[in-house]
Homo-oligomer: A and B are copies of this chain.
Amino acid sequence: MRIDVEQDIMEINNAYAADNRQLFKNSGIFTINIMGSPGAGKTSLLERTLHLMQNQLKIGVIEGDLATAMDAKRIASIGISVVQINTDGGCHLDAKMINRVLPGFYMNALDLLIIENVGNLVCPAAFDLGEDLRIVVMSVTEGGDKPNKYPNAFLRADVVVLNKIDILEASGMDLEETKKDILRINPRARIFETSCRMGEVCGVEQLAEYLVELTLEKKKHTLP
């Protein structure tokens, strides 16, 4: 009986995700779902990436958190439209939550919508939000065994960001072995190494360039 209930939840979610996907397609919006553990550095990475992309694209952000609007305030302070969803203890965003807040954006004026999921390497991976691209952010301080221990998130990721590489040495993680593990789980994952505290050469530029490229590519194909 419990399995039936879970299937119902997934069926409902998939219906909303399909609806979202159609709305994004109609407006030519490229949509990204960012997930990772608490403290992986998702919001900092988002801030840095937004800063590099905001002159080229019109961007909206949805912030998912159990409580507080701390992350939404950080994003709003750099001049980006942002909607905060508080799940009130809920462990993931689902497609219906996204569907409900979309009227908060001028959809036709957006090129890119970025959704930062609740900090959790497990549950968000099971819920399709209608996104085009799924990014898993993992801090090197979490340790190199994490891809094997939490395979579902990595299995369904398009992009894996290994963040906080400025403290790689202190973390003791074997970067090359971890990258091999990720690619063994998911050979199509594109891996970026980033730091949000370093100056120029920090990997965030490459990530931002890649996301701009994908966004413009979708726009080209979906607008008249």
Interface residues of A (CB under 8 A from B): 2, 5, 9, 37-39, 65-68, 70-71, 89, 91, 118-123, 126, 139, 141-143, 145-146, 148-152, 164, 166-167, 170-172, 197
Q: Which residues of B contact A91 (CB under 8 A)?
A: 91, 120, 122-123
**Contact of A38 with B150 in the complex, beta carbons under 8 Å:** yes
CA distance A142 to B118 in the complex (A): 14
A and B contact pairs by CB, cutoff 8 A, 10 listed: A37-B37, A37-B121, A39-B146, A67-B149, A89-B152, A91-B122, A120-B121, A120-B122, A120-B123, A123-B123
Q: Which residues of B contact A37 (CB under 8 A)?
A: 37-39, 119, 121, 142
**Contact of B70 with A150 in the complex, beta carbons under 8 Å:** no
**Contact of A65 with B149 in the complex, beta carbons under 8 Å:** yes
Q: Which residues of B contact A141 (CB under 8 A)?
A: 39, 139, 141, 164, 167, 171
A120-B91, A121-B119, A139-B141 given; A149·B5 CB < 8 A: no
Q: Which residues of B contact A2 (CB under 8 A)?
A: 9
Residue of B nearest to A125 (CB): B89
**Contact of A150 with B119 in the complex, beta carbons under 8 Å:** yes
Copies in the complex: 2
Q: Which residues of B contact A152 (CB under 8 A)?
A: 66, 89
**Contact of B167 with A39 in the complex, beta carbons under 8 Å:** no
15 new A-B contacts at CB < 8 Å, known A5-B5, A119-B121, A141-B141? A2-B9, A37-B38, A38-B142, A38-B149, A39-B142, A65-B149, A68-B148, A70-B149, A119-B122, A119-B149, A120-B120, A120-B121, A139-B141, A167-B167, A167-B170
Residue of B nearest to A66 (CB): B150
Q: Which residues of B contact A150 (CB under 8 A)?
A: 38, 66-67, 119
**Contact of A143 with B68 in the complex, beta carbons under 8 Å:** no
A189 to chain B, nearest CB (A): 17
CA distance A152 to B167 in the complex (A): 29
CA distance A122 to B197 in the complex (A): 27
